[in-house]
Amino acid sequence: MAANSKWARFLEKSQLGGVIFGCTNNTMEECLTSQLFGLPAKHFKYVQNIEPGLPLFLFNYSDRKLHGIYEAVSSGQLNINQYAWTAGGPDKTKFPAQVQVRVRTKCEALPEHQFKPIIANNYYNQVHFRFELDHAQTTKLLSKMSPSAVSPSQAPTPKKAQKWTPVVKSSPSKNKREESGACEPSSLPKEDGANYATSDDSQTLNEMNNQLKEPSPCDQNYETIQNYDEKDLLYIKLKELALSGELSDAIMMGDVVEGACMENADLEHEKHDDAVANLGKWKGGSTLSSLDYPVIISQLWGEIEELKSFKQQQALEIKSWKKKLVEAQQKIDQLENRCMILESVSNSSSTISSNEALVGHNAIKSSLNESIFILGGYDGVSWSAALNSVSPTCDVLKFHKPMSAVRGNASVARLHGELYVFGGGTDSLWYDTVESYNVVDDQWTARPSLTTKKKCLAVAALGDKFYLVGGGSEVECLSEVEMFDPSVGIWVSARPMLEKRFAVAAVECHGAVYAVGGFDGNDYLKSAERFDPREPSWTRISSMNMKRGGHSLVVLNEKLYAIGGHDGETMVPSVEIYDVRMGTWTAGESLNQGRAYLAAAVLKNSIYVIGGLKAGPSIIDSIECYKEGQGRRETNLKSVGNICYTSAVVLGDD
């Protein structure tokens, strides 16, 4: 797939969920009456991926509102109407990347402040955005546009209906209709980007035509649509409204309605005679008279409104129950924590006095920098919001105030005595939230959110800043790097990595950030790279001997330890050690068993490897320890229990 550019995302056909086209007040009427949308020639690279049934939207630059919902009734082509939006002049259109459209559902136009958060990742400056939509963005836009609140006068329809006219002379041998119109405003200022035509468009179009060597759709012959009686047109419109109502109900229930489904539900426009004949029949196959129409229309409208009301109420009830379920799970987690604390106190009271227990409790609290903090994760039954700390010397698990939400696959780092957790989620949720934990106050504080929801990312603290690298959004693996300064409270884009890295691991060592392994969307990686803020970009370092993602990376005695992970086929037990000064990887002592999506932390010159997934897959409840010069050993620490997709960090001293 081609790399992103300023004006396009170049999504694959399977990734393309919808497309936004443009217009102005001057061209919108022609767009809608001729039912044709178009973009400058350079956009044909993704317009050609449009297939019938794909959801489309129309953005009006004049009032900056998004209109919909439309759908393609043809594939994306060049020059369906090569004289569109030229006001009848001799010049050819500046917007030849075209598609024929129809109204799927009439909806109220969305002002920019309502749809911008949904496509925020598409904006490449304050006012310009890329027109390609992935499936997640399209689903959210379809849900945002409510057809139930639209009256016929509010819908973005042409001021005056116009009859279809052929572009070229009709031919008896053809049975197609012509649908043409405008979507990209010709009156806009010319500058580079997806929203404007450029002076190179004509040249680009000629090159495309030479490469494709296909005749323009304008060279084909079309016929005009037959005129219908008023009652027939009324019933066609009514059927479309009924189908639109079913579509909006499906969206309210969270279903993604694909173009193929709409093809089965919509009228077959190429079979007009059959459609009109079928609309003239009712239950039992009896033919209707014109006197029956008002009664049936009233019945249909009543049934549609009743169904929509029922579905809306059902959707609200489901949302309410989901919220209550989350709250109940959080209360269960809190009760479990309290039970474990009471059991711990009860066991201790049998051997020591209450005064001794109080002294011991204060001693543990004052020595948290000798404990390993474990955040969130999954135990095989549920996702956790817990923040616990474990002391390896006595296998005592201490419970702290939990995070604001259940979370796994997050990234954790410490800075100035506080713990920061970034992104993550569950198997079905992705977070952009950031929060920090103050150990002394036992309180969490919300921090500015990430620019994108992501998980399986990595973070390294360097100086007074955090560098977040890689991970994955809901649609793709990422190479991007974001820098966060807590004292300022803003996120800044930094130099991206040389490769996309999902399930990556990263650390700071000697004033530089190291990113190792991961998954690029196609394969697991051996490669590694290094970023020094004093240098202009990332640089490659020696690659590991084994591919791995979902692994851990820690620093011990100025060496990087890449531990466990998944190589694309199985969970690996291997450990590789990178000597920063020598610039080479060597094999370390392997783990007792293969582990992926584990957690690791360094405490008192020892590496502790916690939980993870093993082959099966099943969740591991053991902790292994490695100390340089003494090798690896299996510990008897059992207080943590089954855990994977968790994060571990040591408070230590900054």
Q: Give dist(CA 118, CA 468) in Å, integer.
A: 23
Whether 620 contacts 642, CB under 8 Å: yes
In 3-state terms, what secondary structure has residue 420?
A: strand
Domain-embedded: residue 308: no
End of a domain among 101, 117, 145? 145
Beta bridge partners of 419: 414, 437
Beta bridge partners of 36: 100
Beta-carbon neighbour count of residue 229 at 10 Å?
10
What pLDDT does residue 115 have? 94
Q: Scanning the structure block, which residue is given the tokens 């004292």?
A: 487
Q: Is the peptide bond before 69 cis (omega within 30 degrees of 0)?
A: yes
**Among 20, 71, 34, which residue's Cα sits nearest to residue 158?**
34
Domain-embedded: residue 27: yes
Domain-embedded: residue 583: yes
**Among 312, 79, 306, which residue's Cα sits nearest to residue 205?**
79
With DSSP H G I counted as helix, E B as strand and the rest as coil, what are the percentages for the chain, rounded to 5?
25, 30, 45
End of a domain among 145, 173, 194? 145
Domain-embedded: residue 66: yes
Whether 494 contacts 503, CB under 8 Å: no
**Structure tokens belonging to residue 427:** 């198997």
Q: Give dist(CA 473, CA 455) in Å, integer.
A: 7
Per-residue CA distances from 581 to 130, 217, 466, 558, 585 (Å): 44, 64, 24, 8, 11
- DSSP 8-state symbol, 73: S
Burial of 30 (0-12, 13-18, 19+ CB in 10 A): buried
What pLDDT does residue 279 have? 43
What pLDDT does residue 270 have? 41
Whether 98 contacts 82, CB under 8 Å: no
Q: Give dist(CA 93, CA 44) in Å, integer.
A: 14
For the chain, the straight-line distance linking the first and the last C-alpha, in angstroms and rounded, comes to: 43
**Among 535, 496, 485, 541, which residue's Cα sits nearest to residue 514?**
541
CA atoms within 13 A on the CB side of 177: 20
Whether 298 contacts 107, CB under 8 Å: no
Question: What's the number of domains the chain is made of?
Answer: 2
Domain-embedded: residue 346: no
In 3-state terms, what secondary structure has residue 345?
A: helix
End of a domain among 145, 179, 203? 145
Task: Assign residue 599 the CATH number of its domain.
Answer: 2.120.10.80
Kindly compute the dihedral angle of the four CA atoms of residues 613, 614, 616, 622, in this order, to the nearest 10 degrees. -90
Strands (E), 392-433: 396-400, 411-415, 418-422
Beta bridge partners of 587: 576
What pLDDT does residue 239 have? 54
Domain-embedded: residue 300: no
Q: What is the residue range of 394's domain? A: 369-650
Strands (E), 499-572: 505-509, 512-516, 528-531, 539-541, 552-556, 559-563
Domain-embedded: residue 54: yes
Domain-embedded: residue 350: no
Q: Give dist(CA 137, CA 19) in Å, integer.
A: 10
Whether 154 contacts 147, CB under 8 Å: no
Q: What is the CA radius of gyration of the chain?
A: 31
In 3-state terms, what secondary structure has residue 197?
A: coil
Per-residue CA distances from 574 to 341, 565, 570, 626, 633 (Å): 37, 8, 12, 13, 15
Task: Assign residue 113 the CATH number of its domain.
Answer: 3.10.590.10
Q: Give dist(CA 344, CA 15) in Å, integer.
A: 52
Torsion 362-368-371-377 (CA) sign: positive
Whether 184 contacts 56, CB under 8 Å: no
Burial of 532 (0-12, 13-18, 19+ CB in 10 A): middle
Whether 498 contacts 479, CB under 8 Å: yes
Q: Give dist(CA 598, CA 619) in Å, integer.
A: 10
Q: Give dist(CA 481, CA 468) in Å, integer.
A: 6
Name the helix (H) or strand (E) containing 28: helix 28-34
Q: What is the mean pLDDT of each run of 10 residues along the chain (654 residues)?
A: 69 94 92 93 93 95 94 94 86 92 92 94 92 94 69 37 35 36 35 38 43 37 39 54 47 37 38 42 45 68 84 84 73 66 55 47 58 94 93 86 95 93 93 94 94 95 94 94 93 95 97 97 96 92 97 96 96 96 95 96 94 91 92 88 95 69
∠ Cα 642 610 449 (to 5°): 90
